[in-house]
Structure 1
Amino acid sequence: MYYSYNDFLGDLKELRAKIEEKISVPDAIVCIARGGMVMSHMLALAWNLRAVYTLNAISYSDCNVQSSLIIENMPHIRGEYQKILVVDEIVDSGKSLEVIMQKFRSAHPEKSFYSAVIFQKPTAKVYADFYLKHAVEWIDFFWEVDMLEKKS
């Protein structure tokens, strides 16, 4: 299924409203690269946040099959930030999100960490704190396909 920019924009506005309703505006955003990059950028602009962190969680091979989980560049969250939103585009198996949230909560037990995604697979072992839609098929996000050269 192709997920367009227009669908994304509408969904991100809806997700933003859900987050604001429950926790107000977070103090910082952690982007799970690469899927959460567009989301974190746009949410940071909407909330006028400069505290945007990035980490790498690599769990897919080129064949769209889950492989071993590699997490790199875990950020150290500065002391004044208490409500931190971790964003990604989808929770698939839930393995990445579970490990990342555990690492943050262990490293910073005094802070509140929340997770937000647009798509949640109903079969995942964990659910994001905020999500909009259940994913029932493979999703081709616009940022994954629109900039690729089309071959004739």
Structure 2
Amino acid sequence: MYYAYHNFLEDLKVLKQKVEEKIGIPDAIVCIARGGMTMSHMLGLAWNIRAVYSLNAISYSDTKVQSSLIIENMPCIRKEHKKIIILDEIVDSGVSLSEVVHKLSTNFQHATFYTATIFQKNTAKIKADFFIREPNEWVDFFWETDLLEDNK
């Protein structure tokens, strides 16, 4: 399934509203690269948050098959950041998000972490605190495909 920018923009507006209604505006954002980067950039601007951290949680190979989980580039979250939203585009198995939440919560006990995603599979081992859609097939995001189409 192709997920276009106009769908992303509308879903991000809804996600933003859900977060604000439940927890207010976060103090900081942690994006899971690469999928959460586009979300964190736009929400960081919308919420006027400059404390945007990123980390890598790599669990898919180029063949769309889950491989071993690698987490790299753990951020150093400042003490004044108490309410932090972790952003990723999709929760598939939930393994990556679960491990990221565990590591961040363990390393930064001064903060409360919330999770937000656009797509949430109902079979995942963890549910994001905030999500919009439940996918029933593989999702090809516009940021994954649109620039590549010129190379075909």
Output the TM-score relative to the length of structure 1.
Answer: 0.98
AA in 2 matched with 1:119: F
Q: State the Cα deviation string for residues 49-86 of structure 1 (Å, max 9, x = none).
A: 10000100110011100000000001010011100000
Match of 2:109 in 1: 109
Q: 1:112 to 1:145 in 2, by over 3 A?
A: same
Q: 1:151 to 1:37 in 2, by over 3 A?
A: closer
Match of 2:52 in 1: 52
Match of 1:135 in 2: 135
Shift of 1:149: 3.9
8 Å contact kept, 2:82–2:112: yes
Give unmatched runs, 5+ long, in structure 2: none
Q: State the Cα deviation string for residues 77-124 of structure 1 (Å, max 9, x = none).
A: 001110000000000000000000001111112211000000001110
Moved over 6 A (4+): none
8 Å contact kept, 2:97–2:126: yes
Q: Counterparts in 2 of 1:1-152, with a 5 A limit? A: 1-151=1-151
- Aligned-pair identity in percent equals 64
Output the TM-score relative to the length of structure 2.
Answer: 0.98
| Cα distance in 2 for residues equivalent to 1:51 and 1:141 | 25
| Cα distance in 2 for residues equivalent to 1:122 and 1:93 | 9
Q: 1:27 to 1:151 in 2, by over 3 A?
A: closer
In the alignment of these two chains, the number of paired residues is 152
8 Å contact kept, 2:79–2:110: no
The 3-state SS of whatever aligns with 2:148 is coil
AA in 1 matched with 2:145: V
AA in 2 matched with 1:146: D
Shift of 1:31: 0.6
